[in-house]
Chains A and B, each alone.
Chain A
Amino acid sequence: DAKTTQPNSMESNEEEPVHLPCNHSTISGTDYIHWYRQLPSQGPEYVIHGLTSNVNNRMASLAIAEDRKSSTLILHRATLRDAAVYYCILRDLGFGNEKLTFGTGTRLTIIP
């Protein structure tokens, strides 16, 4: 599986935007970029995913570089509930490849 690199930790002030970076320089043409997050003492939850175009949903936005070697998860207005570990995952959506390969993620701390 292609590898992703994320900062170990980040801090942000409450009600400010947060930009979480992810580098994936070995991404292949069929790899989708997924983000999951894990709140304290919970299992991970899906945040967003994309292939080439930027994506928006109710939780976040995903900005993908033109060369696809990096991406940024954007939380538009952080709340205390957004404090979690955020995982950037590459996943080949070709049939037969279903498992997620998690790295150590970015631990996001929200400062009140």
Chain B
Amino acid sequence: GAGVSQSPSNKVTEKGKDVELRCDPISGHTALYWYRQRLGQGLEFLIYFQGNSAPDKSGLPSDRFSAERTGESVSTLTIQRTQQEDSAVYLCASSPRGGGGSSDSYNEQFFGPGTRLTVL
């Protein structure tokens, strides 16, 4: 079946402009995560959605970053007034549910290919 998809695959923008990044999770997956990966670094958690619960926004680096999710489907990550430090690959992942419980019920995260954002 189809995996997690993200669009656009590449985005070049000028400093100060707003950008929107889109994530289409695997159908039926209730949990959705956004991560950021700077060049040569590991992934940094940004935000997590689980069903109708309030999202965990603890990883958002500033109030310029926000994300929305429509039900259990598409999510959009918005970065306002982009800065050069925002340049990174933004990765989305989904899982059947948000985890918790025993090893037998672990729900691995399925990642999309990412959106490479370049802020000039």
Which residues from chain A sit less than 8 Å from chain B, CB to CB?
A: 32, 41-46, 49-51, 87, 91, 93-105
Q: Are A93 and B103 in contact (CB under 8 A)?
A: yes
Q: CB distance A93 to B106 under 8 Å?
A: yes
Nearest Cβ distance between residue A4 and chain B, in whole angstroms? Answer: 10
| Interface pair B42/A42, CB less than 8 Å apart | no
Partner of A46, one of B4, B35, B40, B108: B108
In chain B, positions 62-120 with a C-beta closer than 8 Å to chain A are 91, 93, 98-103, 106, 108-114
Nearest-neighbor residue (CB-CB) of A1 within chain B: B45
Residues in B lying within 8 Å of A, measured CB to CB: 4, 31, 33, 35, 40-45, 48, 50, 56, 59, 91, 93, 98-103, 106, 108-114
Tell which of B42, B48, B108 touches A99, judged by Cβ atoms closer than 8 Å.
B48
Tell me if A93 and B56 are in contact (CB < 8 A): no
Report whether A43 and B100 are in contact in the complex, using a CB–CB cutoff of 8 Å.
no
Q: Which residue of A lies closest to B98 (CB)?
A: A98
Give Cα A6–Cα B31 distance, bound, in whole angstroms. Answer: 29
Residue contact A93 to B99, C-beta cutoff 8 Å: yes
- Please state if B43 and A44 are interface contacts (CB–CB under 8 Å): yes
Does the CB pair A98–B103 fall under 8 Å? Answer: no
Known: A93-B103, A98-B48, A99-B56. A43 touches B93 (CB 8 A): yes
Cβ-defined partner of A44 (8 Å) among B40, B102, B103, B111: B111
Q: How far is the CA of A29 from the CA of B107 in the complex (A)?
A: 20
Known: A32-B106, A43-B93, A104-B41. A97 touches B99 (CB 8 A): yes
Decide: A104 and B42 in contact? CB cutoff 8 A.
yes
The answer for the CA separation of A105 and B48 in the assembled complex, in Å, is 22
Tell me the smallest distance from the CB of A28 to a CB of chain B, in Å: 15
* 19 pairs of residues in contact across A and B, judged by CB atoms under 8 Å: A32-B103, A41-B113, A42-B113, A42-B114, A43-B114, A44-B43, A44-B111, A45-B111, A46-B110, A50-B103, A51-B103, A95-B99, A95-B101, A98-B98, A98-B99, A98-B100, A99-B48, A100-B35, A102-B42
A95 and B101 alpha carbons, distance in the complex (Å): 6
A87-B99 Cα distance, complex, nearest whole Å? 19
Pairs of residues from A and B, 7 with the lowest C-beta to C-beta distance, nearest first: A43-B111, A102-B42, A95-B100, A46-B108, A102-B43, A99-B45, A98-B99
